[in-house]
Amino acid sequence: MAATAMHLRLHICDLKFLLAVGRGTTAKITTARSQPVLCCEKTENQQPENQFPAASLLSYHSSNPRILSSTRREATLQLAFAASFHLAILLPAQAFDDSDFPEGFRVYSDSVNKYTIFVPDDWQVGSGEGNGIKSITAFYPEEASSSNVSVVITGLGPDFTRLESFGKVDAFAENLVSGLDRSWQRPPGVTAKLIDCKATNGLYFIEYTLQNPGESRRHIYSALGIANNGWYNKLYTITGQYLEEESGKYGTKIEKAVQSFRLGL
């Protein structure tokens, strides 16, 4: 239980990193707009340098906008100037059942990390690596917006072989969101509210909202999955986010993208 609690705290922190990346994606990732679709290059037998679940930065940075701004600058620079890249595969829609393929989406497939996700046809893609993060890939609209979807992959310790290692989805989601909430502080900090959660297709799906005082409410769709590449366990954290005023434009697209994520090719 102690180990699970520790990894949960790390997970909460990493989700902060995702929000930091998300808020700054359109500001810095524009350097990748003129490039082909990219994804980080790595070898399958590479051992993890740091083993921790994805999500080690969220509650602290969500309640501290100055640190959030600094973190997103560093994170997006890591995305834009990652040391090594390789071309990712964009599979045609015909490779999937037409009934499952949403109109206006394309399939993004990562052959190294072995996952697929549907992304809007006109969205941009940027990928890279960060400290303690094996891979991070961001999908975002071409126009200026803080709405985006990101996939972060981190190494896991050998004891974490399945999602149930973190507890059942209901308890995990409640602990995650309560760990982010700072509305009880005086003065109040970020308000976090759990909307829904479920376990399906071998993944945990969590929907919640975050709102800093004086700022717009941010809707978050998150999915988590675990896989093993033959050498170590990897945690996949998929996070889609949009501001409340952009819900009509991006809400459905982001929800569909996160729900479409699948491990294995």
The pLDDT tens digits for 137-150 are: 999 999 989 999 99
- pLDDT tens track for 10-68: 444 444 444 444 444 333 333 333 333 333 333 334 433 333 333 332 332 333 333 33
**Contact assessment for residue 73 and residue 79, using Cβ atoms and an 8 Å cutoff:** no
Structure tokens that stand for 82 in this block: 């990652």
Domains by residue range for the chain, with CATH: 2-263 (3.40.1000.10)
pTM (2 decimals)? 0.68
Burial class (CB in 10 A: 0-12, 13-18, 19+), 181: buried
CA distance 32 to 124: 8
CA distance 76 to 56: 16
**Contact assessment for residue 94 and residue 46, using Cβ atoms and an 8 Å cutoff:** no
